[in-house]
Amino acid sequence: MPAPIDLAGKLSAFSERWSPKVVADFNGHDVMVVKVQGEFVWHSHPDTDDFFLVLKGRLTIKLREADGVESAVTLGPGQLYIVPKGVEHCPVAEEETHLLLVEPTGTPNTGDPATAAVKTRL
């Protein structure tokens, strides 16, 4: 049987920001932890929803609908948000924030394989 995964231990093993680390596989999905701070790029995922769970810190996800209307949602520890597929979004963290992400294996974090961070396994 597999051992439990210590998310805090995994997060303490690296310092890079905006560089997701795969900690488990789940039914064809990557389960990842990531440290973020500052603003990421506006992007969308045409074929999949985007799952964010805040473990530590605060995350604001700016959203832009197809008609150009912008809104935002702010999350604290223990809160999650799922950005629907195709919705343009931009995560922002004023302070270092730790996230758990779940997405289909091979999904580029920027929505574009040419600009996506390489996902490494911890």
9-38 per-position pLDDT tens digit: 999 999 999 999 999 999 999 999 999 999
pLDDT of residue 2: 87
Which of 30, 27, 77 is closest to 53 using CA atoms? Answer: 77
Q: Please name the residue that has the structure tokens 């997701």.
A: 20
7-121 classified as CATH 3.40.1190.20: no
- Written as six digits, the tokens of 86 are 């195709």
- Written as six digits, the tokens of 98 are 């730790």
Helix, strand or coil, per DSSP, at residue 70: strand
pLDDT of residue 109: 86
**How many angstroms separate the CA atoms of 98 and 28, rounded?**
23
Whether this model's pTM surpasses 0.85: yes
Summarize pLDDT for 48-66 with one digit per residue, the tens. Answer: 999 999 999 999 999 998 8
pLDDT of residue 100: 98
